[in-house]
Structure 1
Amino acid sequence: MAQSFWNAAAPLIATTEKHPFLVAMVDGTLPLPNFQYYVLQDALYLTDFAASLRIMGDKFRATDESISSRLYEFATGAEEAEKSLHNSFFKEWNINDENVERMPNTLLYTSYMIRVCTTRSHAEGLAVLLPCFWVYMHVGKCMLSLREELGDTVSRCAQFDAWIDMYGGEEFEKEVTDYIEIVDKVAKEVDGETLKRMEEHFIMSCKLEHMFWDQAQELMVWPKIVENGKK
């Protein structure tokens, strides 16, 4: 079932895996301020992603304790394993991530994700969260392959490599595989209309994943408030 969602989004995913931001991470040409911007926004995203997983864990508590427990574990993993990498970067950069504002595409993505998990069916909530797992693993694998292909012909950044190693690594792949199995299990029990909505949510989250990297590429900020005709 989940594979059919991936197939429907395949053209977009094929574009995302070649996103200039991601390619620049591999060949070492990404400006550090863009990566810092991305990591700060991603830390905010992960906080809401973990909260969404817990919302789903609460939803499944009454119907499937094993799924519920695994969703709570995913939430903890997002907060501890993934954010620990981000926090290590903040320490290296001597950056305080407190009071960082969610930028437009961050807020768009997390608001959509939380709304679906809160107001829609169990199955739809699982589907809207799936791209964060699967797309990240996929682009991580693509980046590992490109890094191997380029070899020593480019300058490497240790922080970029650490990010690529996490999301392209076997440990994260195991998490993704487990989550896909949960989606498949639940998808087998729903009707055709729900499957259609699951696919729609999956595709939308794939679009928002792409836009999240667009945002970091462009260093997007909120429009300034105009006062007395002056910006």
Structure 2
Amino acid sequence: MKVSDALRQRADYIWQKILNHPFVVELYQGTLPIEKFKFYVLQDYNYLVGLTRTLTIIASKSDFDLMRKVLKLAQEEASTELANYERLLEELGLTIEDAVREEPSPTNYAYMNFMNLMAFLGTPYEGLAAIMPCFWSYMEIARYHERLLETNENSLYVNWAKVYLSKEYVELVEDLKGLLDKASEIEFHKLESVFERASKYEYMFWDMAYKMERWPV
């Protein structure tokens, strides 16, 4: 079994909860309150900035081939993905300034710190294991709930979701899985706990967005 598949199998109990989280289900049904989606988008924009930083840290510790591939992904995140989010913010009546001013929630802040910590202190493959559940689970969510989009009357939600069904996004996920699969068997045991914890943070991110989590003080 490939490294990525073994990691995914181990974390399946978490991923099943992700797939069936109320935020995810209501988003694909089209019934999610728009204020919850706006909150999610503002938080996710900040997460993507943090993710881009994590990718650059991973690249700085990698051999040339891995560095080149990770930097390419970081460049895409910093340009294409964030540019797409700027358009999405506009559709929601928000601005880039709103996103910049938005304070990351406790969960979001902890998740970004976790990714950076794994990239700083771990191997490049531990860094990849920390970011992999984010990319991969979005593709699985889209596939799992694809049929709900057929009756979803919220075009904004439908267009957002279809990005994760696109050929380009699937290829991105497969490329990342391929990079992770190059990790050695010796390193696999380190990756298990990282991938599992990152998967927990993914679940917590959806839960944070659904509850519109704020700092208590």
Q: Report the TM-score, using the length of structure 1 for normalisation.
A: 0.87
Q: Which amino acid aligns with 1:8?
A: R
SS in structure 1 at match of 2:101 = coil
Q: 2:205 — aligned with what?
A: 212
The equivalent residue for 2:66 is 67
**Does the aligned pair in 1 maintain the 2:46–2:99 contact within 8 Å?**
no
The one-letter code matched in structure 2 to 1:53 is L
Quote the residue 1:221 is aligned against: 214
**What displacement does 1:73 show?**
1.1
Deviations 1:39-94, CA, capped at 9 Å, x for gaps: 0000000001011111111111xx2x221111011112222232223211211233
Identity of aligned residues (%): 27
In the alignment, residue 222 of structure 1 is paired with which amino acid? Answer: W
TM-score, normalised relative to structure 2: 0.93
Correspondence list, 1:1-231, <5 A: 1-60=3-62, 63=63, 65-95=64-94, 96-147=98-149, 151-152=150-151, 155-185=152-182, 187-188=183-184, 191=186, 194-224=187-217
Distance change >3 Å, CA 80–CA 142, structure 1 → 2: farther
Structure 1: which 4+ aligned runs deviate by more than 4 Å? none
Q: Distance in 2 between matches of 1:13 and 1:184?
A: 20
Shift of 1:123: 1.9
Q: Distance in 2 between matches of 1:21 and 1:85?
A: 21
Determine if contact 1:55/1:118 at 8 Å carries over to the other structure.
yes
Counting matched residue pairs gives 212
Larger Rg: 1
CA contact (8 A) 1:8 1:203 kept: yes
Aligned residue type for 1:145: R
Question: Any gaps of 5 or more consecutive residues in structure 2?
Answer: none
**Separation in 1 of the partners of 2:124 and 2:88?**
35
Identify which of structures 1 and 2 has the higher relative contact order when contacts are C-alpha pairs closer than 8 Å and 6+ apart.
2
Deviation at 1:3, TM superposition (A): 0.7
Structure 1, unmatched stretches of 5+, are 225-231
